[in-house]
Homo-oligomer: A and B are copies of this chain.
């Protein structure tokens, strides 16, 4: 196991159909990868890994799938690292810590965040950056 949700392909497809989200094998594979690997992968990593299973996979499709999945709330984009957009299968509100040394992204719990009057808020993100405990001791 990878520490994810462990949803079977059929369950993922059902999830998509509930939201009238077209269930292509590519979208299912990207969803599955992001949910099974809670290390905040970016498009490049997802492309490399998913291609091992599905050799015909295109990079464009990864970008399309990620955008569509994020738009529909199936995954959460993390723009903490300005180089590339990372994605998180955990869509519940939580914070992200970016270690400037090892570049790893850590999750942490946060309290409920306030609303903004008159604004339609679709997504809230809390990003911290600095040095993680591991890298402090080296």
Binding site for B on A (CB under 8 A): 77, 79-82, 85, 97, 100, 106, 108, 110-111, 113-114, 116, 118-133, 136
Query: Which B residues are in CB contact (< 8 Å) with A136?
Result: 118, 120
Q: Compute how far the CA of A108 lies from the CA of B121 in the bound complex, rounded to whole angstroms.
A: 13
Q: Compute how far the CA of A119 lies from the CA of B133 in the bound complex, rounded to whole angstroms.
A: 5
Q: Compute how far the CA of A110 lies from the CA of B108 in the bound complex, rounded to whole angstroms.
A: 18
A22 to chain B, nearest CB (A): 22
The contact of A124 among B81, B122, B124, B128, by CB within 8 Å, is: B128
A73 to chain B, nearest CB (A): 13
Query: Which B residues are in CB contact (< 8 Å) with A80?
Result: 79, 125
A118 in contact with B133 given A82-B77, A85-B82 (CB within 8 Å): yes
